[in-house]
Amino acid sequence: MKITFVGTSSGKTSLNRFHSSLLLSSENYNLLVDAGDGISRALLVNGINFNSINGIAFTHLHPDHFCGLPALIVQMKIMSRKEPLDIYIHQSLENVVENFLLQTYLLPEKMKFEIHYRTFKEDERVNISRDFSLITRKNSHLVELEKYKLSHPSISLYSASLLFESAGKKIIYTSDISSVEDLFLFTDISSDIFISEATHLQTSILIETLSKIEARKIYLTHFSDEDIQILNEILATIPDKIRNKIIMARDGLSFEF
């Protein structure tokens, strides 16, 4: 399994970094996790061929995680893509995504490749390819919007944290979260790699809590340019054993394990 941090910035747009996105590459499948504003350029900068991406998994529909999708599909179309594109999305969001693409004039009749929606349910294992799967669990990132459901009953407030498994290796990705409890959604599973967003929790509490996570390596992503100094200062105060385990990801960081 290979992990590439396509972008590591938060929802705040940066001149030097891209919104957070991951590329997970197994033996025979490339899965992009989230495709926010600017994803097409982010992939170009990282030297990733648009048409090498077999599927895209979405954690939730905030613009910095989702709104680059139609532009990316247009680029795939321009590059004469023929292979189908899989979109992994919670079942409550399938119609939202499909209609969004239609409203950007990406009509199936004019496409040279098919888009396959592969929906998932809470805590359901979804087989991506041979020996590559994902499981999602709902986190609390969008809970504060629940009070608006009466006024906007059609919206779905599903925000996923993800567990990926490939060839016996396990990767947990928190995506955006809103509580310490969200860091422990997969406490029943020991991971090799734990990837946590670093914007929505108080930094000192985040680092203290992550020091208790059982994982070989912990990577931080989804932080603003202003957060970098704060994160570095706090990481400098923790014991070496823990500091060596927690890594601030950078755009383009790539490794196999």
Share of the chain above pLDDT 90, in %: 98
Per the structure, the count of domains in the chain is: 1
Backbone torsions φ then ψ of 62, nearest 5 degrees: -60, 145
What is the average pLDDT value for the chain, to the nearest integer? 97
Share of the chain above pLDDT 70, in %: 100
Q: What pLDDT is attached to residue 211?
A: 94
Q: What pLDDT is attached to residue 135?
A: 98
Model confidence pLDDT, tens digit, residues 179-196: 999 999 999 998 999 999
Inter-residue contact 228 to 9 (CB < 8 Å) = no
Task: pLDDT band for 49, please (50, 70, 90 cuts).
Answer: very high
Q: What pLDDT is attached to residue 183?
A: 98
Number of C-beta neighbours around residue 236 at 10 A: 8
Model confidence pLDDT, tens digit, residues 138-173: 999 999 999 999 999 999 999 999 999 999 999 999
Inter-residue contact 55 to 29 (CB < 8 Å) = yes
Model confidence pLDDT, tens digit, residues 109-144: 999 999 999 999 999 999 999 999 999 999 999 999
pTM for this entry: 0.97
- Average pLDDT score over residue span 67-75: 98
- Average pLDDT score over residue span 209-232: 96
Q: What pLDDT is attached to residue 79?
A: 97
CA 173 to chain centre: 7
Beta-strand relationship, 169-173 and 125-129: unpaired
Q: Is 132 exposed, middle or buried (0-12, 13-18, 19+ CB in 10 A)?
A: buried
Which stretches of 26-168 are assigned E, i.e. beta strand?
30-33, 55-57, 85-90, 115-120, 125-129, 132-138, 160-166
The domain in which residue 108 lies consists of: 2-256
Q: What pLDDT is attached to residue 193?
A: 98
- Count of helix runs (H) and strand runs (E) in the chain: 7, 14
Inter-residue contact 223 to 199 (CB < 8 Å) = yes
Q: Distance between CA atoms of 104 and 64, rounded to whole angstroms?
A: 18
Beta-strand relationship, 30-33 and 254-256: unpaired
CA 46 to chain centre: 16
Token digits of residue 234: 């706090």
| CATH of residue 149 | 3.60.15.10
Model confidence pLDDT, tens digit, residues 20-42: 999 999 999 999 999 999 999 99
